[in-house]
Amino acid sequence: MEALVARLSRLDADAEGALRVVTFFDTLMRRRVDLPALARAAAGLAECTAGIRLHATGRSIRMSAAGTEASDPVPPASSEATVTLDDEDIGTVWFERCGPARSLDELALERLAIAVAAVVERYGPAQTTMADPALVELVITAGTDDAARNRALRLLGFAPGSPVRVAAVRSATPLDRLGAQVCPARPVKAAQLGDVGVLLAGEIADEAFPAGVHAGVGVAEHAARSWREARTALRFATVRRPVVRYDALGAVALLAQVPADAARDNPDVAAVDRLASTPSDLDTLDAYCTTGSLRRAADVLHLHHSSVARRLDQLGKALGFSLTEPDGLLRASVALTTWRLLGDS
């Protein structure tokens, strides 16, 4: 700071004003204001509309000199500056001044750009659970290079080098509320990509998912690999097992790699497909395969165990093997799981 003051003291009569500009933005940075507050403060200082745009989000923040959001059409910038972070161009700041630029505009924009970069590095562009889907997609796509992935993570508010795990969800609960429930300790970001919701967090509490949500949770620390695991785990989620961690699948995860044609041609899978036309038969088979026990299946189905035994005997005849034998239970479980994967492929 002393060196800067000494340099400014050698300048012309604007030196005092320049020092005030520097002090003004340094104070804002110490107060850790967000991007809209920075734009509002800069507009008040410059007495004209000020704007901030981050390339990763494509969203512009424009504040008028009166401190309100500028809704008028965006005119050409009277002056602008590049926002850089780690030697990368991440955005632009500008003034929309009628008439020629003022002598201190260049310095004010330079300090605004530095302040914006500091906010992005510390917080990301927003402190909400919902995130820009484009940023989230950059993070979880396998083909994204490391530099772009790290930049996107930083913009989302994740510290460089910190582990990020991913959950793939299908839920009627809004993603922002869901994220707050399963990731009570921030940071957590959520976005909807097609028919699947995505949660990004350092840790994800499996047991905190509310009823009615199907979720697959990746366990890898690398976001792209964790997303791949999460999508696979989601395919195994059922009403009786709504939340599935990828590492809990073990070798069963290999079923997701079975070609669809080969799965359909398997006699056991074809037999389950025929059973599916009778929901009560499919429900009985699912309860038995999930619990691995006739009596526990009876409890789940709220039936007497003798009734369940009769149903299993009939199902065994339809499938072509005994369900009460250890091999029969294994065959039925594999066939039922593979049949479900066909429906989700």
Here the tokens at position 9 are: 């003291």
Q: Quote the mean pLDDT of the chain.
A: 87
**Residue 129, amino acid:** T
Class of domain 2-123: alpha beta
Terminal Cα-to-Cα distance of the chain (whole angstroms): 61
pLDDT tens digits for 8-40?
A: 454 455 677 888 899 899 888 888 888 889 999
Please return the burial class of 162, using the count of CB atoms within 10 Å of its CB with bins 0-12, 13-18 and 19+. exposed
Spelled out in words, what is the top-level CATH class assigned to the domain 258-344?
A: mainly alpha
85 within 8 A of 120, measured Cβ to Cβ:
yes
3-state secondary structure (DSSP) of residue 37: helix
Residue with tokens 């039922």: 336
Task: Name the one residue in this structure whose structure tokens are 């910190």.
Answer: 162
What distance in Å separates the CA atoms of residue 118 and residue 240, rounded to the nearest whole number? Answer: 47
3-state helix, strand, coil in the chain (%, to 5): 50, 15, 30
Length of the chain measured in residues: 345
Q: Could you tell me the pTM of the whole model?
A: 0.66
Average the pLDDT over each of 7-11, 43-47, 252-256 and give the range with the smallest value: 7-11
- The least confident of 27-31, 122-126, 177-181, 262-266 is 122-126
| Bridge partner residues of 50 (DSSP) | 63, 95
Domain ranges of the chain: 2-123, 133-256, 258-344
Q: Worst-scoring range by mean pLDDT, 17-21, 110-114, 127-131, 164-168?
A: 127-131
